[in-house]
Structures are given as C-alpha cells and as structure tokens.
Structure 1
Amino acid sequence: MNKYWYYLTGLNQEFSLESRIFHSFCIVAFFILTLCVPLNLILGLPISALLAVVALIAQACLYYLSRFKYKTQISLWLSIFIIHIIIIVNYFFNSGIQGPSFLLLVAIFFLVISLSKPKEYWFFISLNLVVASGLALFEYLYPELVEKSYMGRGFHFGDIISTYFISVLTILIGLRYIKKNYYISQNLLETKAADLERINSTKNKLFTIVSHDLRAPLATVRSYLEILSNLDPAKENWLEIQSDLIEMTQNTDNMLSNILMWSASQMEGISINKKPILLADTLIPVIRVFQSIANAKQIALNFEIDPGLKVLADENMLQLVIRNILSNAIKFTNNGGNIQLTVESDYPNYVIKISDNGIGMTDQIKDSIFSLKAESSFGTKNEKGVGLGLNLSKEFTDMQGGRIWFESASGKGSTFYISIPIA
C-alpha cells in the first residue's frame, strides 16, 4: 500500500515536500468530492453537487499537471483560485453564512499555509481573509441575494456536520503528512550529523597518522642513511644498521599500506572480489617476508598449512589481514620468542590460528583492540604502528563473510583466530 501511495504522491528525490503534500491533498480531495456528489443530492443541494463535480474534474486535471508534468507551482496557484471561486459560488446557492462555506474556508486556509512558500503567505492569507470577510459583508448588506437552500433542519444539520468532518479530515491528513516528513527529515539530519562526526574523526586520525606516525619512521630512515653514508662498509655496525634499516622500511611500508587501504574503506571505495583461492599459495609469500623480519629479532616464525586447502575469500584482503596479525605478533614478541601459524578445520570454515609468546594484552587494551580508539603503541624493539591494523583486519574479515577474534593474557602472549569460509 505504501508503495502505491509513494508513487501517487511522488518520490522525495523528484518532488519537494510542498509538492508531495499537494499531491496527497489532491488524492484525498478525489475521494471526498466523490462522496460529496451523492451526499449533496441526498441533502437536496443539486447546485452543491454540481460544484463538487466541477471541483473533482478540476482537481484531477491539476493533479496530473503537477505529478506527471512537474508543473506544481502553476497547479497550486490554479487550485487555490478555483477552490475559492467554487466556495464563493457555493456560498450564494447554499444558505450563505448558515451553510458550510466558512468551514471549508478554514480548511482551505490551513492548506494554503501548508503548501505555499513563505514569500507567498501574505498573498494567499489575504485572499482567504478577503473572500471570507467579503462574503459575510455582502450577505449582511444584501441578504436577499443569498439563497436559503435547505429543505429542513435535518438537512441543514447534516450538511454542516458532514462539512465539519470533511474539513477536520483534510486538516488531519495534511498535519499527519507534514509531521511524518518532519520526523523523516530529522532522522536524515541526525544521520548526516553522525556521518559528519565520523568523517571528521577519520580526518583527524588520518592527519595525526601522516603528521606524526609516518613522519617518525621516515626521519629514522633518513638518520640511518646519513650514518651509513659516513660509515665504513667493512665495519660490523654497518650490517647491523642495514638490517635495522630494512626492518624499518618494511614496517613503514606496512603502515602506509594500512593507511591507504583504511582511507579507501572510509570513503566506501573498497570493492571485494571473493573467489576460491588456495590458502597456502596466498599466505606463504606473506609469511616468507615476515620470516626475515622475525629473524632480525631472533624470533622463530613457523607455519603449517595443507597445500590443498581452499577458501572463498578476497586474496588481497586476506593477505592484508595476515600481514597485520603477523606484524603485531613480531612487534610484541621479545627476542628469542616463537610465533606459530596453523590452519584448523571448523566446517563450514577454516580457522587460521596465529599464536605468539609475547607480552600479551591488558584488559584495557583488549576492550578497544578492534576500534579506532585503539592507540598506536611501541613494540618490544620500539617498533611503531598506527593503531589501524586490527581495525582494518576486522573490517576486511567481516566483508569476506569471516570472523576474527583473539585470546590474550598479559605477559603470556596472544592468539588470533581468523575464520574464513571453505570454498
């Protein structure tokens, strides 16, 4: 039912609120005027019945002109003038001030205020007041020109009561439509305000990352390069600095990748390409890269993946998730520690399990680990992150229809689980 009503009144994207109220008024007017024709004939008011037919035809034409020809402003003006003319004629043939015309003028006054633009208020208000006061004054001066059309008190009461209900119904429908659209507009404003707040928070986070978190490692890389340029390659320190430099550039590259992917996801520009992929072929290249980083901290990074396992996932997204988890595991594991990556079956998913015996997490860190509120922190060798990796990992895992969770104890290490659907 709502679908047909929205079609008849017009979509929000096509028509203004005033236009939609006008269309709804026209639709309601069709039914009311259709009822008025036989009702006026029963009450012995043939002229009023004829005027109802004229109003019905005019309103149908004006509705078509507004709804399908997009001439709402012209339709509105013509509708207001035609209604006032019909009320004037009805006034003289339907008992004047004792008839229902003034009740109809009150209903029309409400519609005029609801539909007209602010700069048109005074014109239409003046028109309504002039018509009402002019009719009353004319009848006061020339009462003999107003026809007393009722055949009895029962017909008189019936006409007044029916007109009252018609007027109340018209005002009620108009108010309900206005209030409904007001609440819709309020909800849209609140949604937009929340979106703006989120975007502003995202912008601040991004600026902080670019200005501080990325700046620091790049400055360190520059310092290392200056030292290397003045250092004898034959010295033992040269190889140690070179190793640190490789590790630093790898961390910085990982940070930059996270920033770019996270920024794209915030702008709703990330598209997912899920397809059956071999888990070993996808994960082993990532693990090999991090093994060299782990070796620099004398951390044993071992893995066990059945080469035949297939999952339904986006290869790039899954690699990014694993990169972030492994990067954190190395970052928060002391020299000489162990990291183990295994895959377990939990039909209809495979669960990638990454365990370390690092420093673990406190309860305070656990509560915000997957949110943007998570603060970036330094690793066991002063490695710096940006506080985005796990937030991005959760977002990308969810997008692939998977799930990510963890277990951790302070001082005892952490274990992360990534559940991905089996292909």
Structure 2
Amino acid sequence: MLFFNAITFKWYNTIRSLGFTASLSEYDKRKLAIFNVLNFFGVITGIIIPVAGIFNDDNLPPLAWVVAVSPLFISSLAIFLTGNKKHEAAKLVYFTCYPLFTALIYLIRIDVGIELFFIVYGILAVFLFQKKRNAALSFILSLLLYFVIHVLPVNFYSFSLTGANRGFYLFNQILGIFFIFLCTYLFKEENYSYLKSLQSINKELNQKNEEIAKQAAELQELDILKNKLFSIISHDLKLPLYALRNLFRNVQDYDIPAEEIKVLVPDIVKDLNYTTGLMENVLLWAKSQMSSNGVNAEKIDLQKLVMEVIALLRLQADAKKIYLECKVEAPVYIYADKEMINLVLRNLVSNAIKFTNEKGVVKIGATAMKKQLEVFVEDTGRGIEKEILEKLSGNNFFTSRGTSNEAGTGLGLMLCKDFLKKNGGEMIIKSTPGLGSRFSFILPKNNLVN
C-alpha cells in the first residue's frame, strides 16, 4: 500500500510539474500546476463520458459523440504544448476549443446539460492566463456563449437529454458542479501553499536579518574595542618604557648614586607591572580574535586555578598588605576556556586589590548550583557609587585610580565581559559604597552540549 501511495504521489507530482522552467516564478508554476491537473481530469473525462454513453445508448446524434470525446483531444493537445514549454499556446487552445465545442452541441439544437462548464472556463481563464489580453478575450468568449445559449427558447432544441436520459443529464450537471468545486479547491490549496512558502521565506529572511544585525552590532563593538586598544598601545605603553629608557640613559651618562636609583625603581616597577598586565590582556584578546575555534572549552579545576591566580598576584597584594583568601575549599570543576577564565580571575582579583585599602581582605570563592557554579571575588574596598556601577554594567570603558593611586584603563573589565560571554557566562556586579564590592559570574560544571 505504501509503495502504491509513493508511486501515485510521484506520478501526480510529475503531472503537476509538466512544463516547468527556471524562468517561471513560484506563483506562475503553481498556476501551471493547476492547469496541468485540470487537463489530466479533462483527458479522464474525455474517456469516461463516451464510455458512459455507450452503456446508455439512447441514439445520440453523431455530433454529440464528437463533443463527448473532445475533452480527450483538447486536453491531450494542451498537455503536449505545455510539455514543449508553449504555455500560452496551450491555454489558448484550452480556452478557445472547450467553449466552442461546448457551444457547438447547443447550436445544433442539442441540450445535454453542460452549460455550467462555461462558468468554469471563464473562471479559469481569469486565473490561469499570464497575459491580461488573453484572459479577457477568453472570459468574454465563455460568458458570451453562455448567454447566447440561455436566450435560446426551450422549443429551439430538437433533442434534450433531460427527457431522453435524465440520469446522464444529471451526471453532466454534477460534473459541471464538480469542476467548479475542483477549480475553487485547487486555487485555494495552491494559494494557501504559496502563502505558507512566502511565510517560510519571510521567516528565514527575518532570521538572517537578525543574524546580520547581531553580527553588525558585534563588529561595531569589536571596532570600538580595537580603537581603544590602539589608543592604549599608542599612549599608555609608551610611558613606562620611556621611564625605563630614561633611567638607563641617566645611569649610562651620569654617575647617579645607588640611593637615587632605588628611589626611582619602585615607581618604574609599578608602571611596568601595569604594562605587563595590560600587554597580557591585549595579547590574549588578540589571540581570541584570531583563533578559528574561538573558545577551547575544557574541564577546569577551579581550586587549582584560584591558587595559581593568588600566587601570581601575591606581590601586588603584599605591597598593600592585603590578605588574599581562597574560599574554594574542595576541588570543584567548571567547563570553559582555561586561558580566558584565568584572565577573568586575574583581572577581577587585581581590580579588587587595586580598590581595597591597605590591610583589607579579598576573597575568591564559589557557590555550587545544580548544573552550574557561581565564581565570586569579594573585597572590603571602598565600594562603587551607583552612577559608576551603571557605567560598569554597560559596554563603555570606565577608568579610575585605585586607593594607592594605581593607574587603570578599564580594558580588563571589558575583556572579562567579552570572554565570559563567549563561554556562556555573564558578569554580576554588586557593591555597597564604603563596604566593598562583589564581582561574580556563572559557568556550567560540565559540557552541556554533550
């Protein structure tokens, strides 16, 4: 049964697509499909009616048999022309021959009850012709013949199928109604299918437009970040290098006492530490932009990563006598890009040290959730004002100096947000002025894709 249905469906689609060309629009193809289906039914009708007439022979006139078999030849010729890509010629044959042959039988004084077909021809001509002139002429021809037949007196006919074979007469009437219904149904279905295809295309276009808009916004943000990076590189990186160059030049050219050099070195080291951190941020950002994969996610031991960050920033914290406390007591794991999350933690802890007064505390910990882990960095620093917090929550650069006048660019926090977004996370900032701040982000414990 399934095989039979598959064969029937394939055969039906072959009939519908007869004469399709690449130059035809989707809507014209659907109209041609209706024309092909109607011609197929025309061929079937041209076979059934003569056969029915044979089994109900009531001495029909010879011309009645010609008209009865005419759908077979007219629709076959239309199918032949359509198959040869002569679409307008096929329709002209159909909408000229069918009305004329139908009218012919009435004009020779035979009433077989098929006048409803003139309505079918008129409706079809309007919908199926591509050229308006052909549609108008065919429509006028069908209606004209219909009215001519109806103004003829009843006693004009020498033979009426109503009296000779009422069953056959009713069959012709029902057949006319069936074709009117079939035309209406086919146009409704094709229009509905066409509208659905348009909706599907519009949906795809909207999705593509949204993707393009999203990509454009990302490119704009990337361009802003790139310009800021060049600004930083051209300005901020020069100062520490110039200071170091001037120190060595003075040592080379002048006999500077060791005590004076020791006085200059701490400020230069502080600037170099700032430069080192800045360069690490810039290089890692550049690497992430050039990488084809983008994010190299893996299972990360968070406790181990936090201890590495604390060891790296110990000197910065000791300079302000700030205590770095790891609150990750047991091995817990997150699934993310290790280099990116390492940079995020370094920046958050470094900022916490920067904005915390001497002898303060910075805590790095984690809160377990069902399938995720919240990583946080808390400090006992000066906190963040509401206006500044709003700026930090946006995508704008914001810079301010630390409690010991440490320099900053705001680039680190921007990169943190960018890297967290790439790893499916988001930064959450909470702060109370005078009491401290809490920066946190949530990442998955495992690879959710697999």
- TM-score, normalised via structure 2 length: 0.63
| Residue 271 (structure 1) aligned to one of 295, 314, 326 | 295
Higher relative contact order (CA 8 A, sep 6+): 1
C-alpha separation in 2, matches of 1:360 and 1:300: 17
Tell me which of 374, 382, 387 is aligned to 2:396. Answer: 374
Which one of 349, 365, 368 corresponds to residue 326 of structure 1?
349
When residues 131 and 22 of structure 1 are mapped into structure 2, their CA distance, relative to the original with a 3 A threshold, is closer
Counterpart residue number, 1:93? 101
Amino acid across the alignment from 1:104 = L
> Following the alignment from structure 1 to structure 2, what is the Cα–Cα distance between the partners of residues 420 and 189?
29
SS of 1:353's partner is: strand
**Number of positions where the alignment pairs a residue of Structure 1 with one of Structure 2:** 368
Q: Indicate the SS of the match to 1:379.
A: coil
Q: TM-score, structure 1 length as denominator?
A: 0.67
Change in Cα spacing, 1:293 to 1:52, as seen in structure 2 (3 Å) is farther
Runs of at least 5 residues in structure 2 that lack an aligned partner in the other structure: 1-8, 15-20, 51-67, 105-116, 149-156, 162-168
The residue correspondences of 1:386-405 to structure 2 (distance < 5 A) are 386=411, 387-398=413-424, 404-405=427-428
Percentage of matched positions with identical amino acids: 16
Q: Residue type matched to 2:342 in 1? A: Q
Q: Does 1:172 align with 2:172?
A: no
* Residues 297, 336 of structure 2: 8 Å contact kept: yes
Alpha-carbon shift at residue 377 of structure 1 (Å): 1.6
Corresponding residue for residue 289 of structure 1:
312
Change (3 A) 1:282 1:185: closer
Offset at residue 296 of structure 1 (A): 4.2
SS at match of 1:359: coil
- Within 2, Cα distance between the matches of 1:307 and 1:220? 43
Q: Which amino acid in 2 is paired with 1:376? A: F
- Partner AA of 2:401 in structure 1: G
> How many angstroms does 1:358 deviate by?
2.0
Alpha-carbon offset, residue 395 of structure 1? 0.9
Letter in 2 for 1:339: V
Q: How far is 1:320 from its partner?
A: 2.8
- Counterpart in the other structure of 2:127: 107
Contact 1:104 1:163 in 2 (8 A): no
* 1:218 to partner: Cα distance: 1.4
CA positional deviation for 1:231:
3.9
- Output the CA distance in 1 between the equivalents of 2:80 and 2:388: 71
Cα offset, 1:355, TM superposition: 1.0
**Cα deviation code 1:12-62 (max 9, x no counterpart):** xxx999655455556656665566666787889543366456667887xx6
Q: How does 1:412-423 map to 2 (within 5 A)?
A: 412-422=435-445
Letter of the structure 2 residue corresponding to residue 241 of structure 1: D
CA distance in 1: counterparts of 2:365 and 2:194, whole angstroms: 64
Q: Are positions 1:246 and 2:286 aligned together? A: no
Amino acid at match of 2:103: S
8 Å CA contact retained: 2:368, 2:374: yes
After superposition, the C-alpha distances for 1:257-311 in whole angstroms (9 at most, x for unaligned) are: 463266469xx85134333x33333333233222233334443333244464444
Q: Which moved more, 1:131-140 or 1:21-30?
A: 131-140
1:337 to 357, 360, 365: 360
Structure number with larger C-alpha Rg: 2
Q: How does 1:192-231 map to 2 (within 5 A)?
A: 194-195=213-214, 197-231=216-250
Given that residues 107 and 170 in structure 1 are in contact (C-alpha distance below 8 angstroms), is that contact kept between their aligned partners in structure 2? no
Q: Residues of 2 paired with 1:344 and 1:318: CA distance?
A: 16
SS in 2 for 1:220: helix
